[in-house]
Amino acid sequence: MGGCRLLGGGCGAHHHQGQLARRHPFLTAPLFAAPDFTSPVAWSVVFYQAILGSVAHIWWYEAVHAVGPSRSAVFMNLQPVVGVLLAWAMLGERITASGLLGGAAVLLGVALTSRRAPAGKASSPPAGAPRG
């Protein structure tokens, strides 16, 4: 509800989504084993995510500030590629031909959408954009 007040709008859909998000863990908790709070591995994962996860988010926000949200959003497409590579390197997962093809398509898409226009060529406005 606090977010609705900050945004100055009604709470209809936002309130409903918040209720679902709060109830969701209780619906799925019986599907998982109880956590072992004495496990050093579990605590190392928590600290890893708390420290490196925080640093990664700070770097991401700095990148958004430096290049803008439109240009930086393209790089979110790299998350699955990085995930597959980490699973291969750390867990020994196999990368199939379709995984390689998909990764190549993602890399090509990111390369094409993040390249700069050649010098001296102005980019044209998108179709339907007002010309001024």
Span 93-124, pLDDT tens digits: 999 999 999 999 999 999 998 887 676 665 55
Task: Name the pTM for this structure.
Answer: 0.52
How much is the average pLDDT of 4-31? 57
> How many residues would you count in the chain?
132
User: What confidence category does residue 73 fall into, taking pLDDT thresholds of 50, 70 and 90?
Assistant: confident
More confident: 17 or 42: 42
Distances (CA, A) of 54 to 48, 51, 60: 9, 5, 10
Q: How far is CA 100 from CA 12, 77, 78, 106, 107, in A?
A: 43, 15, 13, 10, 10
